[in-house]
A and B are shown apart, each in its own frame.
Chain A
Amino acid sequence: MSFPWAEEYKPKHPLMRWLDDRLPLPRLAYGALGGGYPVPRNLNYMWNFGVLAGLALVLQLATGIVLAMHYNSNADTAFNSVEHIMRDVNQGWFLRYAHANGASFFFIVTYLHIFRGLYYGSYKAPREMVWMLGLVIFLLMMATAFMGYVLPWGQMSFWAAKVITGLFGAIPVVGEPIQHWLLGGFAPDQPTLTRFFSLHYLLPFVIAGVIILHIWAIHIPGSGNPTGVDVKTPQDTVPFHPYYTAKDGWFAGLWMILLAILVFYLPNYLGHPVNYVPANPLSTPSHIVPEWYFWPFYAILRAFTSDFILPAKLWGVLAMFSSILLLFFLPWLDKSPVRSGAYRPMFRIFFVVLIIDVLVLGWLGGLPAEEPYVMLSQVATAYYFAHFLIILPILSMVERTKPLPYSISESVLHGEAAEAAPADLTGASPAQV
């Protein structure tokens, strides 16, 4: 697809030729993830997390489909059916721990993937559609993870369902009917559990569909790269297979080791103990928190404590949803023609502040809503919105960027990309250039 020098699929085996004439599936795979997709040769390891996120989805589907065979979405027996999986189903403990920690793994690699995009300007033209489809996937992931957390019907499941659906109640006029419609009643109960189970099973397949669009869209302009300079010649690229399959392969192994350590040795580390207590509508836990991957957004939600024209609760809900929705406008908020943060000295400083800001928000989101944490989360929330909506638009007008290399190949020959596919320097001494 992307470049004229992309290698064409030439089936050797007669069977593959026969198939290629009738249903060219191997041709599709070859062009999408095989030797037929030329990729910039200078990608660093931050470019590995997209493949890892795809792997995480496959793991979640594989473990989730088997778990669904043993799980029971009845409010009276859901909790016990999860314990049945843990105790009586063969290797059920592995399936459940792999699924619960697999969700955390999915979010870790997705956050790294998103922040890679934020630093290297992956959202900029001509890749706006790739970016926006990625955000759609992220929103679907959040919905899926939230509903999955409700399924064990523990204390935190129940109260998370109550708090999160309660957010919709803050919307004027239609809020309460929407909340009741989502729950199927006035409080989380049997109708809530059944519909959440149904949607939790459905949405991953919707995610898979949007991933196909995401990959399709990235194949039109081709992958970005750490210099942000467009691909110019065949020298700038290497075929996806075997170069990036080999690089993704061993890196996936490394991350699987990290996941295995979580699953086998720290399976409950990222969870909350209160969710091992069955749901009880009459007893509110002292401290309701979502899973760790929602903590930054939870901190933003709780940062609005005083009415300011609108009610504080509505501000919190608006801010929480806006914190993600504003990312859809990022390609037009940041108009700097330079993509890569490596050539934007002022952007780099604000980017580092943003990372610290989001980590602080995450830390505060897991803490109880007490002073001085609330005030700290208010400062961090202010920076989050200022960064994307005020600083980036102004920065892209005033910043003086550093000179870009002529091409990807030149930056490789100059040794600027240490992880790139190598340069052949026989007979040339680039140091003198």
Chain B
Amino acid sequence: MVRVLGIFVGLGFVAAVAWSLLWGLVAYVGNPPEQTAEARLHEHPRHIAYSFDGPFGRFDEQQLQRGFQVFKEVCSACHSMSQVAFRDLRQIGYSEAEVRAIADQWQIQVPSINPDTGEATTRKAIPADRFPSPYANEVMARAANNNALPPDLSLMAKAREGGPAYIESLLTGYHNPPAGFQVPANLHYNPYFPNLNLAMPPPLVADGQVTYAPGNPAPTRAQMAHDVSAFLMWAAEPNLQSRHRAGMVVLIFLIFATILGYLAYQNVWHGPGSRRVRPTGALDPENMARTAEAKRDAGVAG
């Protein structure tokens, strides 16, 4: 009964989905989907090597500091980084005094209240503060950017397919659109951006836009894009190094424990004390031969 009902229900589902398939086929053959300009021109992030790639990957402190400098002098004019605090900069090699100075001299002040009057005011940042947003609210941010909202950069390196390589590809990916491609007003052509038209104007416009401290590579546009992408990876995943290090310890422990476990398993199953099947009774070879013979005579399979 269940089987008969099941077959009917099954036929119902198969018929319904076949009906959908039929109409899908009709539409597909009659009107094959055309590739959109977005699908044709969109490019995936380039393959870019970073110091933090792979299981032994580590951040390059000098690079992160250069990247922070690019963030400070270029990105932070429009973008917030609200999950990261000034104190976190200790992790990329700045001393306590340097962090205090960076917070104190940050161009944007932190919203506060006047302790005497209670009126809204601003104060200088301290190391415990997170990076203040350049705009007081979303309306102000949109008003200053042709109605586009500059996204928060704290998690950008994890929030886009391709991660830091996407950011670097995008920063260096601006170029003139192909002939016949109309870029809407106030937007900029960039094949790495999913819909090709990006509201952000090219942020890195000239080599030497940021001045690196002596002993660092020349601040070409490619170098600055590379450094700031690495910095944003740190901002998104500050514990990457401890994660890689802890992973090694955990793996060594687990591999050792698993080998011991395997040896224990072999000992239990195949060691001298293991319970073996003994060919006795019905399983005695002679009895089994007799059973097989009897089965053959009786014409029974097996």
The interface bits of chain A over 272-294 (1 if a CB of B lies within 8 angstroms of the residue's CB, else 0) are 01101100000000100000000
Min C-beta distance of A328 to chain B, whole Å: 11
Complex interface residues of chain A between 321 and 352 (CB less than 8 A to chain B)? 322, 326, 329, 332-333, 335
Query: Are B269 and A422 interface neighbours, CB within 8 A?
Result: yes
The interface bits of chain A over 370-413 (1 if a CB of B lies within 8 angstroms of the residue's CB, else 0) are 11101100110110011011100110100000011111011011
- CB within 8 Å for A430 and B285 given contacts A246-B269, A422-B270: yes
Q: For the complex, what is the distance from the CA of A20 to the CA of B21, rounded to whole Å?
A: 64
Min C-beta distance of A233 to chain B, whole Å: 8
Cβ of A385: which chain B residues have Cβ within 8 Å of it?
Answer: 10, 13-14, 17
Query: Are A421 and B276 interface neighbours, CB within 8 A?
Result: yes
Query: Are B250 and A332 interface neighbours, CB within 8 A?
Result: no
Does any Cβ of B come within 8 Å of A71's Cβ? no
Query: Are A264 and B250 interface neighbours, CB within 8 A?
Result: yes
Min C-beta distance of A149 to chain B, whole Å: 16
Query: Are B239 and A93 interface neighbours, CB within 8 A?
Result: yes
Cβ of B124: which chain A residues have Cβ within 8 Å of it?
Answer: none
Query: Are B10 and A389 interface neighbours, CB within 8 A?
Result: yes
Min C-beta distance of B33 to chain A, whole Å: 5
Query: Are B159 and A319 interface neighbours, CB within 8 A?
Result: no
The interface bits of chain B over 33-53 (1 if a CB of A lies within 8 angstroms of the residue's CB, else 0) are 100000000000000000000
Q: For the complex, what is the distance from the CA of A428 to the CA of B279, rounded to whole Å?
A: 7
Q: For the complex, what is the distance from the CA of A252 to the CA of B11, rounded to whole Å?
A: 42
List B residues at the A interface (Cβ < 8 Å).
2-4, 6-7, 9-11, 13-25, 27-28, 33, 55, 83, 88, 151, 154-155, 158-161, 163, 194, 236, 238-239, 242-244, 246-247, 250-251, 254-255, 257-258, 261-262, 264-265, 267-270, 274-279, 281-285, 288-289, 291-292, 301-302
Cβ of A322: which chain B residues have Cβ within 8 Å of it?
Answer: 9, 13
Query: Are B258 and A257 interface neighbours, CB within 8 A?
Result: yes
Does any Cβ of B come within 8 Å of A315's Cβ? yes
Min C-beta distance of B92 to chain A, whole Å: 14
Query: Are B14 and A386 interface neighbours, CB within 8 A?
Result: yes
Cβ of B246: which chain A residues have Cβ within 8 Å of it?
Answer: 94, 264
Main secondary structure of the interface of A (DSSP, over half): helix
- Which one of A256, A304, A306, A421 contacts B269 once the chains associate, using CB atoms below 8 Å? A421
Query: Are A264 and B155 interface neighbours, CB within 8 A?
Result: no
Does any Cβ of B come within 8 Å of A267's Cβ? yes
- CB within 8 Å for A406 and B247 given contacts A276-B155, A371-B33: no
Complex interface residues of chain A between 242 and 263 (CB less than 8 A to chain B)? 242-243, 246-247, 249-250, 252-254, 256-257, 260-261, 263
Min C-beta distance of A151 to chain B, whole Å: 17
Cβ of B7: which chain A residues have Cβ within 8 Å of it?
Answer: 389-390, 393-394
List A residues at the B interface (Cβ < 8 Å).
41, 80, 83, 86-87, 93-94, 97, 233, 235, 238, 242-243, 246-247, 249-250, 252-254, 256-257, 260-261, 263-265, 267-268, 273-274, 276-277, 286, 303-306, 308-310, 312, 315, 319, 322, 326, 329, 332-333, 335, 370-372, 374-375, 378-379, 381-382, 385-386, 388-390, 393-394, 396, 403-407, 409-410, 412-413, 421-425, 428-430, 432-433
Min C-beta distance of B27 to chain A, whole Å: 8
Query: Are B155 and A83 interface neighbours, CB within 8 A?
Result: yes
Query: Are B254 and A421 interface neighbours, CB within 8 A?
Result: no
Min C-beta distance of A249 to chain B, whole Å: 5
Query: Are A319 and B269 interface neighbours, CB within 8 A?
Result: no
Q: Which residue, A246, A333, A412, has most C-beta atoms of chain B within 10 A?
A: A246
Min C-beta distance of A425 to chain B, whole Å: 7
Main secondary structure of the interface of B (DSSP, over half): helix
Please provide the 10 A-B residue pairs with the shortest distance between their CB atoms, ordered closest to farther: A389-B10, A264-B247, A253-B258, A250-B261, A403-B302, A424-B276, A276-B159, A393-B3, A332-B2, A378-B21
Min C-beta distance of A269 to chain B, whole Å: 11
Sample (24) of A-B pairs whose CB atoms are under 8 Å apart: A83-B83, A87-B238, A93-B242, A235-B283, A243-B269, A246-B268, A253-B254, A256-B258, A264-B251, A305-B23, A306-B24, A308-B15, A315-B16, A322-B9, A326-B6, A332-B3, A404-B302, A406-B302, A409-B283, A410-B283, A421-B269, A422-B274, A433-B288, A433-B289
Cβ of B17: which chain A residues have Cβ within 8 Å of it?
Answer: 303-304, 315, 319, 378, 381-382, 385
Query: Are B278 and A390 interface neighbours, CB within 8 A?
Result: no
Query: Are B277 and A421 interface neighbours, CB within 8 A?
Result: yes
Query: Are B279 and A430 interface neighbours, CB within 8 A?
Result: yes
- CB within 8 Å for A286 and B194 given contacts A404-B302, A409-B283: yes
Query: Are A329 and B6 interface neighbours, CB within 8 A?
Result: yes
Cβ of B255: which chain A residues have Cβ within 8 Å of it?
Answer: 257
Query: Are A421 and B275 interface neighbours, CB within 8 A?
Result: yes
Cβ of B292: which chain A residues have Cβ within 8 Å of it?
Answer: 433
Closest to A278 in B: B152
Query: Are A378 and B20 interface neighbours, CB within 8 A?
Result: yes
Q: Which residue, A273, A312, A421, has most C-beta atoms of chain B within 10 A?
A: A273
Q: For the complex, what is the distance from the CA of A233 to the CA of B282, rounded to whole Å?
A: 10
- Which one of B3, B55, B155 contacts A333 once the chains associate, using CB atoms below 8 Å? B3
- Which one of B24, B238, B261, B282 contacts A406 once the chains associate, using CB atoms below 8 Å? B282
Closest to B57 in A: A265
Q: For the complex, what is the distance from the CA of A385 to the CA of B17, rounded to whole Å?
A: 10
Query: Are A303 and B20 interface neighbours, CB within 8 A?
Result: yes
Query: Are B264 and A246 interface neighbours, CB within 8 A?
Result: yes
Query: Are B278 and A276 interface neighbours, CB within 8 A?
Result: no
Q: For the complex, what is the distance from the CA of A256 to the CA of B247, rounded to whole Å?
A: 12
Q: For the complex, what is the distance from the CA of A267 to the CA of B27, rounded to whole Å?
A: 41
- CB within 8 Å for A83 and B154 given contacts A264-B244, A389-B10, A421-B275: yes
